[in-house]
Amino acid sequence: MKFAVIVFPGSNCDVDMFHAIKDVLGEEVEYVWHNATNLDEYDGILLPGGFSYGDYLRTGALARFSNVMDEVVKAAEAGKPVLGVCNGFQILLEAGLLPGAMRRNEKLKFMCRLVELRVENNKSMFTSEYEAGEVITVPIAHGEGNYYCDEETLARLRVNNQIAFTYHGLNPNGSIADIAGITNERGNVLGMMPHPERAVEDLLGSADGIKLFQSIVKNWRLAHVVTS
């Protein structure tokens, strides 16, 4: 499986994502600059964390208009797995690939720490290697991770089983319904604030994030075998 790590001006987690895919997962991966106009050769698209375009206006607002985002939308519409982490999640929200919006953390402070997540949906292409209800440890590093949506959208997320992860125990940012990560209705786009790519080796304090990437590869291969 071949992944693209999209690099925006201000991305700072692209190397972590690249390492997780190449060195830990053992899959093919390339950096792709924000002005790229074709992603057809890639099987999975990864939008890393950071401060794209300096977070001017609001997080993800400028990155959403990068040339590559038209291609990210096309990849999502084609059913390819698209993962946005932290700033990547914010960009997916701005691009309309996921519902809702992101606000500043409830206590108005940047937070960087390990948190516990509960796996709410283990039936998606991103979570199938986890057990339902499994509690995992993954780091966060954000100042605007307070996910918000209206009650109608929240009800729809619940009915469609789109809530992939919630914060377990302590909600660090005030996110509605303790939401830490959501998918689109089709289930091939995932946005999450915690950083699974920084939790792929015990040396980093947790290896719980690697199952997310293993899930992507396993489900892509199953689909590839079925359709080939």
Q: Which residues are catalytic?
A: 86, 195, 197
Structural domain range at position 157: 2-227
Q: What is the mean pLDDT of residues 71-94?
A: 97
pLDDT at residue 226 greater than cutoff 90: no
Taking alpha carbons only, the member of 26, 19, 21, 12 closest to residue 44 is: 21
- Domain total of the chain: 1
Q: What is the CATH number of the domain that holds 195?
A: 3.40.50.880
**Model pLDDT, residue 227:** 55
pTM for this one?
0.96
Tally Cβ neighbours within 10 Å of residue 217: 20
The band of 224, judged by pLDDT with boundaries at 50, 70 and 90, is: confident
Mean pLDDT score across all residues of the chain: 95
Report, as an integer, the average pLDDT of 111-140. 97
Q: How far is CA 138 from CA 93, 113, 157, 195, 200, in A?
A: 21, 9, 23, 6, 9
Segment 171-216, tens digit of pLDDT: 999 999 999 999 999 999 999 999 999 999 999 899 999 999 999 9
Could you tell me the two tokens for 177?
């319904």
- If one compares 207 and 107, the residue with the highest pLDDT of the two is 207
- CA–CA dist 21, 15 (Å, integer): 10
